[in-house]
């Protein structure tokens, strides 16, 4: 969301800058030029609004191609359609009312003013969401009962340091990621064509609890977590809804040498290699440098690092901070 708000803000800023320059030079001096200018503004506005609204529904479709990494079909098609329709209406309106100099000046000034307003507001919102704080809605029951479906939380995005755009690192951290932190992150597999847990997860935001840090050894035996050979105290949050019913240990996992097991897990290929999920019997693996092992508190209903591997530091968005909606559940997330 935050990256796209910044894109929309920059696009509107570029439009406003061009409008100011052309207003000074008098370049928009014919009905056709006025119509084209107003049509571009209407198309850009409609595309941006529909793009953000469709994204907020969090609909996840397969991507058009490997090249189109950031826009799914459910976002792209309606946005393009809205942009084309609004652009055509804007062109017709500009052509009809831009026949005289006063009408042309009106459209140029009005569109430039609106684009400057959107540029300031949207870019500021995008920067705040990227670097400071962001709202997040819990999409599934994997964190029950700490967080349940439909809960709305604020995510602290600067506590682990400010994200350096496109660099995959952070600067000036207030503190390091700690064992037990509830974190929000982008799905850690960079391949947009791969399926995990039954569907394509690329680009989605997840929320889980950090259970192991870089260098820790992690294993799951009979559904129970072991970190560095010891079972941590998880009575305050972990739950197992299947009770004593556990999956049998997979014969396939035993056929993988420890080095091979570590490699395919670290490369986010373990669930595909085994053709099944090692929910109750997993590892042991060693968490690589600058990475974390995360699990949902609802252990029997969580798609997590047991399935698709470690979460690299570059994928972290922030730490879950405050559950603010519904008011009856308001609390600091721990």
Residue 145 annotated to the active site: no
Q: 232-260 b/e with 16+ CB inside 10 Å = b?
A: eebeebbeeeeeeebeeebeebeebeeee
Q: Which strand ranges, in their side-by-side order, compose the sheet holding 282-286?
A: 224-227, 217-221, 282-286
Angle at 71 between CA 67 and CA 76, to 5 degrees: 115
Residue 140 annotated to the active site: no
Q: 132-151 b/e with 16+ CB inside 10 Å = b?
A: eebebebbbbbbbebbeeeb
Six-digit token string for 202:
């690329």
Q: 207-225 b/e with 16+ CB inside 10 Å = b?
A: bbbbbbbeeeebebeebeb
| Residues recorded for the chain | 334
Active-site residue, selected from the candidate residues 72, 115, 157, 208: 208
Active-site residue, selected from the candidate residues 115, 142, 250, 305: 142
Question: Residues with catalytic annotation?
Answer: 142, 208
């Amino acid at each position: 969301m935050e990256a796209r708000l910044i894109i929309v803000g920059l696009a509107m800023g570029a439009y406003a800058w061009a409008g100011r320059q052309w207003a000074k030079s008098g370049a928009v001096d014919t009905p056709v030029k006025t119509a084209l200018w107003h049509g571009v503004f209407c198309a850009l506005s409609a595309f941006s609004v529909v793009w953000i609204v469709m994204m907020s529904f969090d609909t996840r479709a397969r991507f058009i191609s490997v090249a189109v990494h950031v826009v799914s079909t459910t976002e792209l098609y309606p946005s393009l359609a809205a942009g084309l329709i609004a652009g055509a209406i804007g062109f017709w309106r500009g052509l009809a009312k831009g026949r005289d100099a006063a009408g042309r000046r009106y459209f140029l000034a009005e569109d430039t003013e609106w684009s400057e307003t959107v540029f300031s507001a949207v870019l500021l919102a995008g920067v705040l969401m990227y670097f400071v704080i962001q709202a997040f809605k819990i999409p599934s029951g994997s964190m029950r009962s700490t967080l349940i479906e439909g809960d709305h939380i604020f995510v602290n995005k600067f506590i682990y340091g400010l994200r350096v755009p496109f660099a995959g690192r952070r600067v000036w951290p207030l503190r390091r990621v700690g064992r037990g932190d509830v974190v929000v992150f982008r799905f850690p597999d960079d391949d947009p064509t791969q399926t995990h847990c039954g569907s394509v997860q690329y680009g989605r935001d997840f929320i889980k609890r950090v259970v192991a840090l870089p260098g820790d050894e992690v294993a799951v035996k009979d559904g129970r977590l072991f970190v560095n050979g010891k079972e941590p105290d998880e009575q305050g949050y972990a739950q197992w809804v299947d009770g004593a019913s556990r999956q049998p240990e997979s014969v396939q996992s035993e056929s993988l040498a420890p080095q091979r097991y570590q490699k395919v897990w670290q490369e986010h290929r373990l669930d595909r290699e085994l053709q099944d999920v090692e929910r109750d019997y997993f590892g042991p693996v060693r968490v690589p440098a600058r990475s974390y092992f995360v699990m949902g508190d609802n252990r029997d209903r969580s798609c997590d690092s047991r399935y698709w591997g470690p979460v690299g530091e570059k994928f972290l968005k922030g730490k879950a901070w405050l559950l603010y909606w519904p008011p009856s559940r308001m609390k600091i997330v721990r």
